[in-house]
Amino acid sequence: MTLGNKLLEIRLKRGMSQEKFGELLDTTRQTVSKWELDQVVPDVRKLIAISRIFCVSLDDMLLNVTNFEMEGVPFQCGVYKKETSEIVETEKYALEYYARGKNIMGAKVYYGAGDQKILLAICEKDVKSLRISYAYTFHDVNGKICTISNSKDFESRLNIERLDRKKLEKMVRVNSFLVNHGEYPLHTVYEIGIRRCLEEWTRGVRVEVNSERFFVNLHTGKKEYVYQIRPQNEDIYCGISYNIAFDLGVRSYGQYYRLRNYKDNSEAFCGCGFDFDYQMPNELHSMNYGKDIKNKLGEPEKNENGIFLVKRYSDDEIVLDGCGGDEYIYDRKTVMSERFTK
């Protein structure tokens, strides 16, 4: 049933003419006719008025109407894979990591509502010649659209290229999840403990975009996706890894996509590589820490093998001992563009 059919049904059940129906809603008979013929959709204020005047819930009017694309079904986020690429899509974002030919590795970020997503950022590296190309767009403090780029070709594709949904149909969906729209409040450490807070606080998307940095961090609760471009020194990092919380911290089970660039690429950490067939090892350290992990408490090399232990914590913050003396800080109040449910 279309929305027009539902409005017609509401009017006829009350024995009202189109003219009388329109008067109650401060509109014309002609407009009511267009609504019922599905030539025009009422704006939100009119729909709310119809709901209140005729005691009909908005759900009854809007769910499962055949002329609405989503038909009342929540947009389902997912992770899609194939031999040479992986895409993770949420309601607002899509991150694509790929390899092309023997030498090209690349990554893209799309943004938009539901399945209408437009390219915001792209970077590619030729791992043989070490050439890096990138472009991204953002809004400045005055709302003006700005672009940072070292590639005219990539720059011309921003805000035009769309996520190819046919490409998703040819990939294997390996995971799905939903967005938390506030119906699931975040807990404190006192309420549910360290491990569950690390899981709950990190599931979602953090975004920082300006002239100095394009940064997206997306965590599904099992996989972590990082996308970062710093124009100064062409400091670029895009990676995918399995990072899973356990009672004493976070265990990393391997990074299987790494696109890295920094200055002249002379640093050891500038290596690149991918293996989209990689699977997390079948072990339980992340959920049930064993003797080997407990023995590392207090030892100077407790970060080896991707194990990052709790250094200190409060009800709203957990600090892990990171690489090279860094601290990894997880804050319950961190602002996220989206948060996910399990």
Q: How confident is the model at residue 292 (pLDDT cuts 50, 70, 90)?
A: very low
pLDDT at 134: 98
CATH of 3-62, one of 3.40.50.720, 1.10.260.40, 3.40.50.150, 1.20.1440.230: 1.10.260.40
| pLDDT digits 0-9 by tens, 157-212 | 999 999 998 899 899 999 998 899 888 999 999 999 999 999 999 999 999 999 99
End-to-end CA, the chain: 33
Residue 249: strand pairing partners: 246, 309
Give the distance from CA 178 to its chain's centroid: 10
| pLDDT digits 0-9 by tens, 217-253 | 999 988 999 999 999 999 999 999 999 999 999 998 8
- Whole-angstrom CA distances from 223 to 196, 219, 252, 267 are 16, 6, 10, 26
Instruction: Please enumerate in sequence order all residues whose Cβ is within 8 A of that of 242, keeping only pairs 6 or more positions apart, or say none.
Output: 222, 223, 224, 252, 253, 254, 280
Question: CA-CA distance, 267 to 262, in Å (whole number)?
Answer: 8
pLDDT at 4: 83
pLDDT at 342: 76
In eight-state DSSP terms, residue 85 is E
Question: CA-CA distance, 238 to 179, in Å (whole number)?
Answer: 23
pLDDT at 66: 64
In this structure, of 57-71, 226-240, 265-279, 302-316, the range with the lowest mean pLDDT score is 57-71
Helix crossing, 44-54 with 3-13: angle to 10°?
30
Mark residue 119 as left, alpha or beta (left: phi above 0; alpha: psi -120 to 50; beta: remaining). Answer: beta
Structure tokens given for 14: 């009350």
Average pLDDT, the chain: 87
Mean pLDDT for the stretch of residues 75-86: 90
Q: Above pLDDT 90, what percent of the chain?
A: 60
Question: CA-CA distance, 25 to 41, in Å (whole number)?
Answer: 14
Question: CA-CA distance, 54 to 56, in Å (whole number)?
Answer: 6
Domain ranges across the chain: 3-62, 77-169, 177-340
φ, ψ at 19 (rounded to 5°): -65, -45
DSSP secondary structure, 179-211, as one string: EE-SSSPPPPHHHH-HHHHHHHHHSEEEEEESS
pLDDT at 285: 44
- Is the model's pLDDT at 148 over the cut of 90? yes
Question: CA-CA distance, 223 to 52, in Å (whole number)?
Answer: 45
Neighbours of 119 (CB within 10 A): 23
- Is the model's pLDDT at 97 over the cut of 70? yes
